[in-house]
Amino acid sequence: MTVTAVQTAATLPLTGRIAVVTGASSGIGAATARLLAARGARVALLARRVDRLDGLAAELGEAALPVRVDVADPASVQEGTALITERLGRVDLVVNNAGVMLAAPFADRRTGDWQRMIDTNLTGALRVVDAFLPDLLAAAADGRTADLVNISSIAAHAVFPSFAVYCATKAALSHFSRNLRTELGPRKVRVTSIEPGLVATELQGHLDHPDVNAVIDDWRKAFDWLSDADLAELIAFTVARPRHVNFPQIVAMPTEQV
């Protein structure tokens, strides 16, 4: 390799990659989209809040394509996928990140909240895999690097009072990733489940249960949480490894969260 090629590989390791990031309108998704673009990828930004997506796309320029997608709506995912194929071509990197965390003490019977979490965190995630799997398999068959990164949570393993349904959706997503890898790994598509502890984003802003909010506020004061940029760095590093290297499961915790 020439010196220039070595420099490009070091600073722009994702040159030529076509990425999809769901939940790109805030938090981990927005930070990840920003970093993937900075490292050379073209990135489709998916979420429902178009004003946020447009703002990020304006910042990233030609590298970004904002696409309004509600992962809980099959028709919306189908339309978004068609637009991405038309504008960017074959996708080889999917960061399946859209999610919602609602406090739902089980005896409160917040069935609407259960459904929203299941539809977004689990069914929505499956829908996104379904939409882009043909592209990932084709990219891998062509000898290119292909990645599916599912953003799960430490909630897949730990127990949190009032979050039984959220934890169940993340446990299901992690176990789905583990099993899917047995099908996709032999076909050279990497599957990675990332399982963070507390990350300072808007996620906790949707909580509307006074007791739960008080606990979260105490944790916020007690120790330094991870940042969205910490997670973006981890994801960008993971997908830039040589294609024979796969991290199936990564747990990322604030040092003081036990």
Ligand X SMILES: NC(=O)c1ccc[n+]([C@@H]2O[C@H](COP(=O)([O-])OP(=O)(O)OC[C@H]3O[C@@H](n4cnc5c(N)ncnc54)[C@H](OP(=O)(O)O)[C@@H]3O)[C@@H](O)[C@H]2O)c1
For ligand X, which residue of 151, 165, 184, 189 counts as binding (CB under 6 A)? 151
Could you tell me where the DSSP H helices lie in 110-206? 111-117, 125-141, 164-184
Residue 157 sits in the site that holds ligand X (CB under 6 A)? no
CA–CA separation, 120 and 111 (whole Å): 14
Tokens of 249: 């499961």
Nearest residue (CB) to ligand X, 25 versus 192:
25
For ligand X, which residue of 120, 162, 174, 177 counts as binding (CB under 6 A)? 120
Q: How far is the CB of 155 from ligand X (least distance, A)?
A: 7
Nearest Cα neighbor of 148 from 248, 252, 230 is: 248
Nearest residue (CB) to ligand X, 139 versus 154:
154
Residue 66 sits in the site that holds ligand X (CB under 6 A)? no
- The DSSP code for 81 is H
Q: Which stretch binds ligand X (CB under 6 A): 57-65, 81-89, 178-186, 194-202?
A: 194-202
Residue 233 sits in the site that holds ligand X (CB under 6 A)? no
Please name the amino acid found at residue 86.
E
Residue 213 sits in the site that holds ligand X (CB under 6 A)? no
| Cα 41-48-125 angle, rounded to 5 deg | 70
CA–CA separation, 66 and 219 (whole Å): 34
For ligand X, which residue of 100, 138, 168, 250 counts as binding (CB under 6 A)? 100
Nearest residue (CB) to ligand X, 121 versus 145:
121
| Active-site annotation holds for 226 | no
Residue 254 sits in the site that holds ligand X (CB under 6 A)? no
What is the distance, to the nearest Å, from the Cα of residue 76 to the centroid of all Cα atoms in its chain? 18
Q: Which of 114, 132, 166, 225 is catalytic?
A: 166
Q: Which stretch binds ligand X (CB under 6 A): 2-10, 42-50, 83-91, 138-146?
A: 42-50
Helix or strand holding residue 233 (H, E): helix 228-239
CA–CA separation, 64 and 21 (whole Å): 11
For ligand X, which residue of 14, 17, 25, 192 counts as binding (CB under 6 A)? 25
CA–CA separation, 156 and 196 (whole Å): 10
Q: Which residues bind ligand X (CB under 6 A)?
A: 22-23, 25-29, 47-49, 52, 69-72, 97-101, 120, 124, 151, 153, 196, 198-199, 201-203, 228
